[in-house]
Structure formats: structure tokens, C-alpha cells
Structure 1
Amino acid sequence: MPQASESVRLSLRLLSTGRLIEREVDALMRARFNSTIARFDFLAALDRHGALTLGEVSQYLLVSNGNITQLRTRLSEEALIETEQDPDDRRIQRVRLTRQGESVFKQMAKAHAACVDALLRDLSQADKNALSRLLDAARASLRRKVTKGATA
């Protein structure tokens, strides 16, 4: 069973490392933009993919539709996103960045990148590349397992 305990230790390291980065980025978003990392992620999904349904945003961010609905309300109130009806199916609504949302997101993205660069500054470029390759392989493995329904 040593392999299982190594896997558990690895998963805990991944989680704690991710949480440390997330905590620092969230603190930055709160301090500089009076926002949160969740709101940044929502805007990033729209920046990356264009107009999306709330279900699509939920899938990209791996969060519940309820969380997305609350974020949508706040971001709409701040005029960072707007809702439009799908031209092919009027029953479908999509959200997209407004011009103001694009501008704010660009500022947030620049600050986000600088924060993460500072956090990972002690890693060499070779280490970053190797870590990226390993994480990509781990993610691909997880997706194959999840797709097959074998999460145990």
C-alpha cells in the first residue's frame, strides 16, 4: 500500500500548493480590485471563450450553477458583463464581457500574472516547464478516469 499513501501525500501537496496560490491571488483581487478570485475566474472564462451560457461557465469553472448565478448578478450590477439572447434560439441566454468588463479584466489579468510570477519566482524555467508537463499528464490521467466513471 505504499503507492496509495504516496498518491495521497502527492494529492495533499497539490491541494495545499493550489490553495496557497489561490489565497494570495484572492487577497490581491480584494485589495486592488475590490473583487474575488471567483469573479476573476468568471471574467477570465468569458475573455477566453466569448459569450457563454451560465451552464458553460459553470462547466469551465467546475462550480455549481447557483454560484455562477450569484456571480452573474454581481458582475451585471457592476456593468462588467451583459446578457444577450442567442440569435439562433431565443430561449438561450449568454453572458459576455462589456467594454468596461474587458478593460477591468485586462487590469486584473496583468496583476494576476505579476502575482503568480512573484510567487513562483524561485522556480527555474526548466522546473516550471517540467512541472507543467507533469501536471498536464496528471490532468489527462484524471480526465480519463473520470470519463470512465472510475473515480475510486
Structure 2
Amino acid sequence: MSVANEKLEDQPVSKQRLRLWLQMLKTTRFIENELREELRLGFQSTLPRFDVMAMLDRTREGLRMSQLSKQLMVSNGNVTGIIDRLVQEGFVMRVQVKGDKRATLVRLTPKGIEKFAEMAAEHERWINEHLKEIDETEIGHFIDILSKVREEDH
């Protein structure tokens, strides 16, 4: 047991949970900032663009802009700007929805699928590098514990 954990056990559980939350938040922000920089340097891209492309890669048939915004938990305006740039670069296309002249789907183009596959492989490598000190058993425990938190709230 580390010295930090010994001191932690002397505190009420509510304080321990608060400290846990702060550590999770610091770690998440640290890794997210590293990923932002790696995407910027390696692909001249941003994390929001990566997230949009990832969602479209998982939904190859395409998504309406409102669905994309909802899935990513961001405003339609934010997604529209990203999609406009991805369309200009040839990574995404807009497709009319049959039977609804006002609705369009957005989906990755073949060029977008190829680019995202390249980005996703690097993203996985970067995450693996940042979390290399966590072994397989610990990974399973972390996933189980964090899943409990989400299940409790929903």
C-alpha cells in the first residue's frame, strides 16, 4: 500500500471518492490533451474531428446531423462546422434521405474511411502507450468499476 493510500484510508469515504474523482479527471484531461497534440502534429486534425469520423466509421450507412450531434453530445452548430470542413477535404459526403427532401445523411467517403483507419491505428497506439503501466487484470477491474458508476446513474 502506498503512503498516499494509507492517508486516504484515514479519511471519510466521501472524501476518498472525491479524491478518486479528481484523480480520474486529472488523468483524463492529461491524456486528452496529449491526444489533441498528437492528432494536431500527426494528422493536422482535432479531437472533435476524430470523434466525428469515429462515429461515422461505426455507422457506415450514415447519420442525420441531429443523430450525430446527439451521439457526440455537442450542438448541431459544432457538428455542422466540422462536417463542412470534412466535406471540403473529401472525407465526408452528404446524401439525401429518400422520401424526405429536407433531410440529409452524412457518411464517410472511401477516402475518409482510409484516413480514419490510419488515424484510429495511431490513436490506439497512443492510448496503449499512455496506459502501458496498467496490466490486463487491472484493466478489467477498472472497466468493471467504471461501468458500475454508469449503470447506477441510468
Smaller-chain TM-score range? Answer: 0.7 to 0.9
Equivalent residue, structure 2, for 1:74? 85
Unaligned runs of 5+ in 1: 145-152
**Structure with bigger gyration radius:** 2
Gaps in structure 2 of 5+ consecutive residues: 1-11
Which residue among 50, 53, 56 is the counterpart of 1:40?
A: 50
Residue 5 of structure 1 is matched in structure 2 by 15
CA RMSD of aligned residues (A): 1.6
Identity of aligned residues (%): 34
Any runs of at least 4 consecutive aligned residues in structure 1 with deviations exceeding 4 A, and if so which?
Answer: none
Q: Which residue of 2 aligns with 1:124?
A: 135
- 1:133 paired with 2:144, answer yes
Structure 1 residues 63 and 114, CA gap change in structure 2 (3 angstroms): same
Greater Cα shift, 39-48 or 62-71: 62-71
Match of residue 147 from structure 1: none
Specify the code of the residue in structure 1 equivalent to 2:35: V
Q: Deviations over 1:99-135 (max 9, x none)?
A: 1100000000000000000001111110011101111
Amino acid of the residue matched to residue 86 of structure 1?
A: V
Q: 1:85 aligns with which of 89, 96, 99?
A: 96
Q: 1:24 aligns with which of 34, 54, 57?
A: 34
TM-score (norm 2): 0.86
Secondary structure in structure 1 of the residue aligned to 2:93 = strand
Distance in structure 2 (CA, Å) of the matches to 1:62 and 1:12: 22
Rounded to whole Å, the distance in 1 between the matches of 2:76 and 2:145 is 31
Residues 74-94 of structure 1 deviation map (CA, whole Å, 9 limit, x = unaligned) = 111111101011124232111
Scaled by the length of structure 1, the TM-score of the pair is 0.87
The answer for the alignment partner of 2:63 in structure 1 is: 52
